[in-house]
Amino acid sequence: MKLAWSFRLPLLALAAFGSMALADAPRPAATTASRPSAALPRLVFFMNPNGAPCQMQDRILQDMGPDLKGKVEVVYYKTTVPADIAKFQQYGIRSLPTLVVTDASGKEIRRATPGIQSATQVRQLFQP
């Protein structure tokens, strides 16, 4: 049980203290969806905006924007947004960065191994 708390505690601490510093930080407008699309699958990106690995994964996804447009909706959930913490718990996220592919209703289809995924690895998430 000690191991489970070691993952949960940093997420809760980041949610509590990180949101104060970055509450007004804008979300990336190009790929962040405010409402899920009814037709497209979703690439859900669980991240800590202050972490270097998550920032690297974010750059990879931003660079892939033209490739992903019209094929998938990219949704960000951040440790610095208190309302997003429930999604971390819902999907059982314990390591960051994590990418999860869901259908339009939010049902998980597949999940990448936690850590930085290359553009090729991200594309493979959408292949049957």
**What domains, with CATH codes, occur in the chain?**
2-124 (3.40.30.10)
Phi first, then psi: give them for residue 86, nearest 5 degrees.
-60, -35
pLDDT of the residue at 38: 58
pLDDT tens digits, 48-70: 999 999 999 999 999 999 999 99
pTM: 0.71
Placement of tokens 């998550």 in the chain = 54
> Which pLDDT score, from 0 to 100, does residue 22 have?
41
Evaluate if residue 15 carries a pLDDT over 50.
no
- Output the CA–CA distances (angstroms, integers) from residue 49 to 8, 39, 55, 110, in the order listed: 17, 28, 6, 23
